[in-house]
Amino acid sequence: MARFNNRKKKVFVKPIVKKQQKKQPNVDHITGNKIPKSFVFSRGKLPGPLRQLQMDLRKLMLPYTALKLKEKRRNNLKDFLNVAGPMGVTHFLILSKTETSPFLRVSKTPQGPTLTFKIYGYSLAVDIAQSQLRPRCPQDLFKNSPLIVLSGFAAGDEHLKLTTTMFKNIFPDIDINTVKLSSCQRIVLLNYNKDTKLIDFRHYSIRLQPVGVSRRIRKFVQNHQVPDLRNLQDVSDFVTKAGYGSESEADEEAATVTLISDLSRVNRASTKSAVKLQEIGPRMTLQLIKIEGGLCSGEVMFSEYGNGGNKEKPGSRDGNEREDSENDNKMEDSDEDNEAEDNEEDTEESEEDNEED
């Protein structure tokens, strides 16, 4: 009699291999310079609008930032600094809030300096999009770093020079001889007003439109859709019919450039295209109030309220200095509170373990 093999056959299960994310380079392969990376986080409790501003700043700093950086109340500044080294993070953007106003600190890791800005006003990216008739935010808009433009910082003051250097180094360098026009899709503008000593912080998207081409023709070429000609007597009516609308100002000579390479099906090399900027947010109004030599500590290199040459109302200087020191103390207190909370949690866990024993 034939013997039957009742052994169960082993079923081969293919292991699931998770796709590893590509590590971002630390050095630009074209310029050879180190690529700056950043962490955007907060110290202390923030209200809802400032939390959203923090997310908008993270999105602005893409792609060389941690968009989904998770913060815990027990984390202090040393924790972020310990993680920044292995990940190649070069800058910190720290948001905080006092009883009077919010603050933004821009720090160079690991040893400073630190620039402290008082936020006089801000608008979120959502608010700016809602105020526009046609908000524009393509999916590939944040694949490349934005360009940085500084205006009004030409004064010979040392604190303005340091501010210029800090913001220049917070974004990657570009080589005008090798840069691709398709990668230049965003721009960050900082305009300094020497009379008010305020900095206007703006974030725009860049798009090009061919000069002398109607909106109908441009849409036809871009979308590859058959136009609706039912109400027209001839094809020439579709071409000659006015379709510029509010975009006619794009034909101004000062706002046009000649492309050196093909950018899209509509914007071709050696043709004139109009440069249009559309604000995408966030928007902030900042004032530089202090520069410290270290990482959120160290020698005070500049203080807006400590210069003897500033003309201020009696009592205003003491109030501003008190507000600035309050911001410093709040950051320190937040670290101490987090450590105290951790100790309380540890003691509670130990008491529970003893009760179980």
- pLDDT tens string 177-200: 888 877 888 999 999 999 999 999
Q: How confident is the model at residue 349 (pLDDT cuts 50, 70, 90)?
A: very low
**Cα separation of 236 and 234, whole Å?**
5
Classify residue 116 as exposed, middle or buried by CB count within 10 Å of its CB (0-12, 13-18, 19+).
buried
- The predicted structure's pLDDT at residue 313: 39
Q: How many CB atoms lie within 10 A of CB 340?
A: 11
Element (DSSP H or E) covering residue 77: helix 77-87
CA triple 92-94-95, angle to 5 deg? 160
- The predicted structure's pLDDT at residue 208: 78
In tens, the pLDDT along 48-97 reads 999 999 999 999 999 999 999 988 888 889 999 999 999 999 999 999 99
In tens, the pLDDT along 140-153 reads 899 999 999 999 98
**Cα separation of 311 and 306, whole Å?**
11
Bridge-based pairing state of the strands 283-292 and 198-210? antiparallel
**Segment 205-233 mean pLDDT:** 64
Strands (DSSP E) contained in 211-343 are 256-258, 272-279, 283-292, 300-303
**Cα separation of 200 and 330, whole Å?**
26
Q: Kindly tell me the sign of the dihedral angle through the C-alpha atoms of 178, 183, 185, 189.
A: negative
- Where on the phi/psi map is residue 176: left (φ > 0), alpha (ψ -120 to 50), or beta? alpha
- The predicted structure's pLDDT at residue 317: 45
Task: Give Rg (Cα) of the chain.
Answer: 27
- The predicted structure's pLDDT at residue 291: 95
CA triple 303-308-312, angle to 5 deg? 85
Task: Please give the mean pLDDT across all residues of the chain.
Answer: 76
pLDDT at 288 over 50: yes
- The predicted structure's pLDDT at residue 219: 59
DSSP 8-state code for residue 35: P
pTM of the model: 0.73
- The predicted structure's pLDDT at residue 308: 36
Q: Which residues of 204-220 are buried (b: 16+ CB within 10 A; e: fewer)?
A: bbbbbbbbebbebbbeb
- The predicted structure's pLDDT at residue 166: 95
Q: Kindly tell me the sign of the dihedral angle through the C-alpha atoms of 324, 327, 330, 335.
A: negative
Count how many Cα atoms sit within 13 Å of the Cα of residue 283 in the half-sphere of its side chain: 12
- Is there a contact between 292 and 112 (Cβ–Cβ < 8 Å)? yes
Q: How confident is the model at residue 302 (pLDDT cuts 50, 70, 90)?
A: very high
Both tokens assigned to 320? 């501003």
- The predicted structure's pLDDT at residue 356: 47
- Is there a contact between 317 and 333 (Cβ–Cβ < 8 Å)? no
In tens, the pLDDT along 162-175 reads 999 999 999 998 88
- CATH of the domain spanning 37-205: 3.40.50.10480
- The predicted structure's pLDDT at residue 92: 96
